[in-house]
Structure 1
Amino acid sequence: MKKKLIIVGFLLSIGFLGTCLVKQVKARGINIGAESLPMWGFAVGDEVSDFKLKNVDGKMVSLSDFSSAKGFILVFTCNHCPFSKAYEERLVQLNGKFSPKGFPLIAINPNDPEAYEEDNYENMKKRALEKGFTFPYLVDDKGVAKSYGVSRNPQAFVVEKVGGKNIVRYIGAIDDSPKSAGLVSNKYVEEAIENLLVGKPVVTQNTRAIGCAMSWRSN
């Protein structure tokens, strides 16, 4: 009888620990059984760290440069990925709509140019010029994407300035149509910012980023 009680107690302990783990995972916006967000990096509600990365115009850019901004649209993207290419015009439109309202867009390319030559700095400059990028397009050679917990290209972070801190309000897909702008029904990034601009909480805080897997730099 004593042995049976020990076994039952052990099983109950495992069940309790499992429940706690599930709660922690869900709290970070991770869908069990489907890829959503990695276990590292920032979650909604976290304060993100600033960075200083090289723009395609040769200048260094950091979040602190935008002293009058209310927040940011940070999009980790690249040149080679078909999903990233499908969003290029939409990124220009997002920046045109929300930069004047205090939420400028900043695009960051974290991919290894040795894995994809199309993602090297010279090709980034060409791409930005050809596509008429109106926002900074930064080369991430300092592991910023890893520190943020980026898993796919493209992946968006909506960040709000609160009391001098940059707080994450949304992580995931830009919208719900990764291949065609004409089929969009849920504009996740837009909806998040529209809510923030009127002082409302963001309703959809996490979505699954659909795109190309990261090709990390060796440094």
Structure 2
Amino acid sequence: MKKSIIFVSAVLVVVFISAFTLNNTTLKGYGIGDVADDFLLKNIDENMVSLADYKDAKGFIITFTCNTCPFAVMYEDRIQALNEKYASQGYPVIAIMPNNTDVKPGDALPEMKKRAEEKGFTFPYLLDEEQNVYPKFGATKTPHIFVLEKTKKGNVVKYIGAIDDNHKDASAVKVKFVENAVNALLKGEEVGLKETKAIGCSIKV
């Protein structure tokens, strides 16, 4: 009897350690130079969107954001400006809402539609309904940005972090992290500052 209990306990410990390790690996997400997997998510217009749909894109500004986080709200106009500046140059913004909408009903698809209409979003605003995409990227905040460059290997991660260095006041920004990264890529240059700390609300699971 004691041997059976010891055996079962040992199995449970192994399972727990394996699950913990797997979870940590998943949460770590992409690093600079990694190739990001494509995804298929529902847009606010009910159509499914993937990166593969953008045949002529040179890369992407993947933005994890939401309606309810004050930091995300402060950055909405700047996210819109990024799309207006770079979509025509081959780097469109793809916004993804990663929160659990049971926890944050203000981030549910109908509310996403309302917000996009109010703000006049010109970029897709996708719902990570199963919460499978944001862990792959390793996103932890809203907003959290990943700049990808389309290459023969796939969509390579070139920048991860914040949009700029001042979430409170757009007029007081001194360093535009995302713009600098995309500008470098458009010139065929290496991105200088590849990672910064994302400032925002934690993603709700």
Same fold (TM over 0.5): yes
**What pairs up with 1:183-194 in 2 under 5 angstroms?**
183-194=172-183
Q: Deviations over 1:45-68 (max 9, x none)?
A: 000000000000110000000000
Give the drift of 1:214: 1.0
Q: Deviations over 1:2-28 (max 9, x none)?
A: xxxxxxxxxxxxxxxxxxxxxxxxxxx
8 Å CA contact 2:27–2:136 kept in 1: the answer is: no
**What pairs up with 1:86-97 in 2 under 5 angstroms?**
86-97=74-85
How far apart are the structure 1 equivalents of 2:27 and 2:64? 18
Match of 2:49 among 61, 70, 79: 61
Match of 1:132 among 120, 123, 146: 120
Q: Deviations over 1:91-119 (max 9, x none)?
A: 11100000000000000001011111110
**What pairs up with 1:70-219 in 2 under 5 angstroms?**
70-142=58-130, 143-163=132-152, 165-216=154-205
Give the drift of 1:39: 6.1
How far apart are the structure 2 equivalents of 1:96 and 1:193? 13
Give the drift of 1:164: 5.1
RMSD of aligned Cα (Å): 1.1
How far apart are the structure 2 equivalents of 1:165 and 1:193? 17
Instruction: Select the structure that is richer in helix.
Output: 2
How far apart are the structure 2 equivalents of 1:187 and 1:94? 11
Match of 1:44 among 32, 44, 53: 32
- Which ranges in structure 1 are unaligned for 5 or more consecutive residues? 1-37
Q: What amino acid maps onto 1:83 in structure 2?
A: F
Equivalent pairs counted in the alignment come to 179
How far apart are the structure 2 equivalents of 1:50 and 1:39? 17
Q: What amino acid maps onto 2:181 in structure 1?
A: A
Deviating beyond 6 angstroms after TM superposition, the runs of 4 or more aligned structure 1 residues are none
Q: What amino acid maps onto 2:44 in structure 1?
A: V
**Share of identical aligned residues, percent?**
49
- Which ranges in structure 2 are unaligned for 5 or more consecutive residues? 1-25
How far apart are the structure 2 equivalents of 1:116 and 1:166? 31
Q: Give me the TM-score of the superposition, normalised by structure 1.
A: 0.80
8 Å CA contact 2:83–2:93 kept in 1: the answer is: yes
